[in-house]
Structure 1
Amino acid sequence: MLNHPWFTVQRIDGQTFAISEYGHWEKVHSFLLLGQQKAVLIDTGLGISNISEVTRRLTPLPVSVLTTHFHTDHIGGHGLFSDIYVHEGDCSWLIDGIQGLSIEQIRADLVRDLSLPLPEGFNADTYTPYRGKPAGLLSDGQMIDLGGRSLEVIHTPGHSPGHVCFYEKTSGYLFTGDLLYDETPVYAFYPSTSPSDLVRSWERIAQIPGVTKIYGSHNTLGLAPSIMADVEQAVKTLRENNLVSFGTGTHYFNGFNVRF
């Protein structure tokens, strides 16, 4: 498999790759999916190193970027690509900039708790999150055809207004962005988040038939579909105990947790 000083590339199957940043405390994953006519990159990571160098080494196909949501750790490499897509709910951040976090805080978070040296040439003091206009908008239920394989867009707000997941029915892969992952809390305590939307989105993905693997954007690469039963139970517990609101704290379940 491809060697890189910053990214860890792992083959999920013959046409699907995880591009991970384990040297950073957030353990961010981006995902490259290859079709017969084109490829898509789900998110572009932190922007600490050049992710397009990796995608070029993995495929000669044209690469479109599908954005799960517009937070700094998912759009760091967007400026390296020209064909970028985002849901309408997050489009204003793409064009006008990320709201609610100072540039000083963003830059500090990029370089704290590192376990690998920063790539030569990267300077957090000059880092600026990507801004631009998308090539198009993603919508709920939209099918994205790569040639020989396709992805369904599922609008799953809560962590951000325009957060989306991507589902490939033929493989059963569900790419959940920051809606669901293990170890560290799923965040829904910022003013731009919605605890009630997030719980509804959990409820929705738990009902998707045929899921074989859940690929969140942080921590463990690939969660077993059995976690969906735990998600359903979490939804029930949170609602029955009137915990679906800001300020109720961090709630722990079997293998994952959420902070409201």
Structure 2
Amino acid sequence: MNLIKDDWFTVEKVDNETYVISEYKHWEETHCYLLNGTTNSLLIDTGLGVKNIKAVVNKFATKPLIVIPTHTHYDHIGGLRYFDNFYIHENEEDWINGNFPLPLDFIKNLLIEEPCEFPLDFNIDDYEIFQGKPTKILKDNDIIELGNRTIQIIHTPGHAPGHICLYEKEKEYLYSGDLIYKGKLTAFFPTSDPKTYKNSIDKVVNLPIKKILPSHFDLDLQTSIIKEIKDAFEQIENDGKLEQGSGLFHYQNFTISI
């Protein structure tokens, strides 16, 4: 059931304390997650930044807000400019401080890669890559306390050097960012590393997980997809093709781009 469906955002409940805020009108179908605890609320990712996500978050956040992008690609940090208190993994602190390795024109072309009905007040000419100073630098296995909810930071590089998943042990939720989803898994960027990506899948495959909450596309993921991705990477490696430039590898629920 949609709690909000406006000209850009859709808000749905994951459970009574957790919401997913989606940008279904864009080809990337980004998902951000709001977790309410008894002392703090946590927003995971901030979307494309083409409309003010904070106005939506404020309707559902119940406590002072912490914001954590899974990584600093444009579709995850676009809305960071609306928030003051955000954390970044140490491996991408340099990127968020103004040294993002891809040019703005490249990002704009990604944003409009497929036809989209953007909000009426959005102007692509005004779009910028967010830069700012995080309030905290994250490391692998850091713990974020929300009062009655505890979130573990799991460093899962490969797609991006500072990519993280967030794991909620009590609920057995994995907020998987761009590591795991149904779609094209990307390890071909100059800053990506397919071997490290494989290692990151190996790192999470044995966690007790009841629900995967991805950053893109289909929200109804079977947890078995993690093992499927692991097996796919192992096959690619065994074939001697786990090197950038090897191309596209197609599977039932996903594609791997190397």
TM range (shorter): over 0.9
**Is the CA contact (8 Å cut-off) linking 2:91 and 2:162 kept in structure 1?**
yes
1:29-49 per-position Cα deviation (integer Å, ceiling 9, x unaligned): 111111011111101000011
1:143-196 per-position Cα deviation (integer Å, ceiling 9, x unaligned): 11101011100000001110000000111110111111112x111111111111
1:55-92 per-position Cα deviation (integer Å, ceiling 9, x unaligned): 10112421111111010000000010001111011111
**Is the CA contact (8 Å cut-off) linking 1:45 and 1:74 kept in structure 2?**
yes
**Is the CA contact (8 Å cut-off) linking 2:172 and 2:211 kept in structure 1?**
yes
Distance 1:250 1:149, change over 3 A: same
Match in the other structure for 1:211: 209
Match in the other structure for 2:191: 192
Match in the other structure for 1:133: 133
The 5 A counterparts of 1:247-258 are 247-258=245-256
Question: How much has 1:114 moved relative to structure 2?
Answer: 3.8
Match in the other structure for 2:158: 158
Match in the other structure for 2:91: 89
Distance in 2 of aligned mates of 1:135 and 1:73: 20
Q: Give the TM-score taking structure 1 as reference length.
A: 0.94
**Is the CA contact (8 Å cut-off) linking 1:88 and 1:138 kept in structure 2?**
yes
- For residue 238 of structure 1, the aligned residue among 229, 236, 239 is 236
Match in the other structure for 1:33: 35
Q: Where do 5+ consecutive residues of structure 2 fail to align?
A: none
- For residue 218 of structure 2, the aligned residue among 203, 220, 232 is 220
Q: Give the TM-score taking structure 2 as reference length.
A: 0.95
Distance in 2 of aligned mates of 1:191 and 1:87: 19
Distance in 2 of aligned mates of 1:27 and 1:204: 26
Work out the percentage of aligned pairs sharing the same amino acid.
Answer: 37
Match in the other structure for 1:109: 110
RMSD: 1.3
Residue type of the alignment partner of 2:200: S
Question: How much has 1:242 moved relative to structure 2?
Answer: 1.3
Distance in 1 of aligned mates of 2:214 and 2:154: 14
Question: How much has 1:220 moved relative to structure 2?
Answer: 0.4
Distance 1:7 1:114, change over 3 A: farther
Question: How much has 1:233 moved relative to structure 2?
Answer: 1.5
Q: Where do 5+ consecutive residues of structure 1 fail to align?
A: none
Distance in 1 of aligned mates of 2:242 and 2:140: 24
**Is the CA contact (8 Å cut-off) linking 2:188 and 2:194 kept in structure 1?**
yes
Regions of 4+ moved over 6 Å: none
Question: How much has 1:2 moved relative to structure 2?
Answer: 2.4
Distance 1:164 1:43, change over 3 A: same
